[in-house]
Amino acid sequence: MPTTMNPFHRRRAAATVEPPPVSTTRQERLLRWAEVLDCDPDRICALVPLMGASAVERATMMVENSPLSIAHADSILRIWGLRSERVQDAIAFFELSEMDAARIFGLKRTVRSRTARDVAHRVRNVADKRSERMIFRLALTGGVAGVLLIAMVSWFVR
């Protein structure tokens, strides 16, 4: 005799099905991560030690109380598709390059933690490349102006 599920169990089974990941842009995901970090801006976050870690180590690396564990604790980011707090999953989900990951987590081994506010600021900078380009342009313009000023002063001193 075949067993059948009663209606209550059918509804419960249907309720536990995970929704498909929502389609979001890279910038939306990064800005949500920054928003989550800003919920407790003075919280000290342990940084993920990327420098010197092999690809295999990075694939399984998890750091307690890191910006990645804070991101994974957010239900919206999980619904959007963040699988775990492992470095490899976060890099894939947030579409981070090696340089982006280095900007967010830092490269120095001596710096082991940052405030959530600082990490959120770094995440926003990665999300909005315009601010980085503007800083680069200002530095370049300042450098060119400095060289021209030195050339003019040395020409007048002659």
* pTM confidence score: 0.68
Q: Which two tokens stand for residue 70?
A: 């804070």
Domain spans of the chain, in order of start = 19-127, 129-158
Digit-coded pLDDT (tens) for 46-103: 887 777 777 788 778 888 889 999 999 999 999 999 999 988 899 999 999 988 988 8
CB atoms within 10 A of CB 48: 23
pLDDT at 56: 81
